[in-house]
């Protein structure tokens, strides 16, 4: 086996966390000399295809009047087979089980019929297990695809346990956490930026997500309303998604108007974190919470729900706040204290930054590389 590998990286191209993890991993692997071929419906948001060793292959859909829904999984499988053959791929690393792990299994079977062998690594990210994956229509397919993968990883210990508890996977699953690029996500306040969102005496709160129901963006507004009654503050809402109109409506209902800035999707989110005092993340569940990690790397403590994998990242009362369903009022009181007491804010910010340093890109990359090599040695 040569030192440099040829990897087919399959992911969703959107701003969602799984696509971001796949893209950052792919870029870092390419920097280490591996050839990384992204296969996706459109070019992933953070992918820079002018970088050496990085390639993008678009899955083109066939539309036919008979199809009410075009079968994406078949188009993806076909593209995976084509790229594997043309680029002589060693393995597929697929991110998010539905439908990528199923497509990888099909592609591997087709390639085997053509006398080619290829390995499949599936990384589970979150709702592919905790929400949509549990749907009775999908669950047997997800279980099967997990069983068929040569290796399976989950982005937190919580997600590993959830998968073992709810799916018939008969498989070892390794928990490999997500990572953050500390060169990019670091406390750096662009001069003059903060002034555009808040007055000097006001605190700045931030939420970043893809505005899906699971993110509970209406509760972000509720938390902000309670906090801002006690501490003069403003809120930046970054992102876009199906819950945006309902969230805007909630802002109107509370009469918060100009205190909340909806800024849509932003590439330079690290600059917005760096001017913020607290991130709000009241998700119903969060297998890892990549946005929380990125905020912490910029020195911003996170007030999050005590759910999913968030307690693996956030230590309550030290580098952030974890809020249970029954503990909302207490959580708000702690947030008010943190925001209005400068030494507490400084201590939380320092601890958040220190905690984020455990999630170094280079170390996580070593773990994935070791996994790839282990698969190919067998």
User: What is the footprint of ligand GMT within residues 30-69 (CB under 6 A)?
Assistant: none
Q: Please tell me whether the peptide bond between 99 and the residue prior to it is cis, using omega within 30 degrees of 0.
A: yes
Shortest distance (Å) from residue 292 CB to ligand GMT = 8
Shortest distance (Å) from residue 177 CB to ligand GMT = 9
User: What is the footprint of ligand GMT within residues 178-197 (CB under 6 A)?
Assistant: 178
Q: Using an 8 Å Cβ cutoff, are 85 and 115 in contact? A: no
Q: Judged by CB under 6 A, does residue 155 bind ligand GMT?
A: yes
- Of the pair 127, 319, the CB lying nearest ligand GMT is at 127
Q: Judged by CB under 6 A, does residue 18 bind ligand GMT?
A: yes
Q: Judged by CB under 6 A, does residue 126 bind ligand GMT?
A: yes
- Of the pair 179, 348, the CB lying nearest ligand GMT is at 179
Radius of gyration of the chain (CA): 21
The side-by-side arrangement of strands in the sheet containing 320-323 is 260-264, 233-239, 203-209, 278-281, 302-305, 320-323
Per-residue b/e over 72-103, b at no fewer than 16 CB within 10 Å? Answer: eeebbbbbbbebbeeeebbbbbbbbbbbbbbb
Residue pointed to by tokens 């998968």: 163
- How far apart CA 198 and CA 232 sit, in angstroms, is 10
For residue 80, give every residue at least 6 positions away whose Cβ sits within 8 Å of its Cβ, in sequence order, or none.
8, 10, 39, 92, 103, 104, 107
DSSP label of 50: T
- Of the pair 194, 216, the CB lying nearest ligand GMT is at 216
What would the x/- binding string for ligand GMT be over residues 266 to 305, using CB under 6 A?
Answer: -----------------x-xxxxxx---------------
Shortest distance (Å) from residue 175 CB to ligand GMT = 12
Size of interface with ligand GMT, in residues (CB under 6 A): 21
Shortest distance (Å) from residue 196 CB to ligand GMT = 28
- How far apart CA 74 and CA 25 sit, in angstroms, is 26
- Of the pair 55, 288, the CB lying nearest ligand GMT is at 288
Shortest distance (Å) from residue 154 CB to ligand GMT = 9
- Of the pair 155, 339, the CB lying nearest ligand GMT is at 155
Site for ligand GMT, rule CB under 6 A: 12, 16-19, 21, 125-128, 130, 155, 178, 214, 283, 285-290
């Amino acid at each position: 086996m040569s030192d440099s590998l040829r990897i087919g990286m399959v992911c969703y191209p959107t701003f969602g966390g799984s696509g971001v993890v796949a893209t950052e991993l792919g870029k870092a692997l390419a920097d280490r000399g591996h050839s990384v071929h992204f296969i996706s419906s459109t070019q992933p948001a953070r992918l820079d295809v002018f970088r050496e060793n990085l390639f993008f292959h678009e899955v083109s859909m066939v539309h036919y009047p008979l199809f009410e829904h075009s079968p994406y999984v078949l188009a993806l499988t076909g593209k995976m087979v084509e790229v594997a053959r043309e680029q002589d791929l060693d393995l597929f690393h697929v991110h998010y089980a539905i439908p990528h792990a199923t497509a990888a299994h099909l592609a591997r079977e087709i390639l085997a019929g053509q006398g080619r062998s290829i390995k499949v690594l599936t990384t589970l990210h979150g709702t592919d297990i905790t929400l949509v994956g549990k749907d009775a229509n999908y669950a047997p397919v997800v279980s099967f695809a997990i069983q068929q993968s040569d290796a399976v990883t989950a982005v937190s210990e919580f997600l590993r346990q959830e998968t073992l508890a709810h799916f018939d996977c008969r498989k070892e699953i390794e928990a490999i956490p997500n990572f953050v690029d500390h060169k990019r996500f670091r406390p750096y306040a662009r001069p003059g930026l903060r002034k555009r969102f808040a007055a000097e005496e006001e605190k700045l709160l931030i939420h970043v997500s893809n505005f899906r129901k699971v993110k509970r963006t209406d509760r972000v507004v509720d938390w902000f309303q309670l906090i801002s009654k006690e501490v003069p503050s403003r809120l930046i809402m970054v992102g876009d998604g199906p819950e945006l109109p309902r969230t805007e409506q909630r802002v109107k209902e509370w009469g918060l108007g100009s205190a909340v800035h909806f800024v849509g999707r932003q590439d330079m989110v690290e600059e917005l974190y760096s001017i913020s005092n607290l991130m709000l993340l009241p998700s119903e569940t969060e297998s890892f919470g990549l946005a929380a990690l990125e905020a912490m790397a910029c020195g911003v403590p996170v007030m999050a729900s005590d759910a999913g994998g968030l307690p693996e990242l956030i230590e309550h009362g030290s580098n952030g706040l974890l809020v249970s369903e029954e503990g909302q009022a207490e959580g708000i009181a702690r947030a008010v204290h943190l925001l209005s007491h400068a030494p507490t804010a400084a201590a939380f910010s320092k601890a958040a930054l220190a905690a984020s340093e455990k999630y170094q890109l280079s170390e996580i990359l070593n773990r994935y590389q070791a996994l790839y090599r282990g698969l190919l040695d067998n």
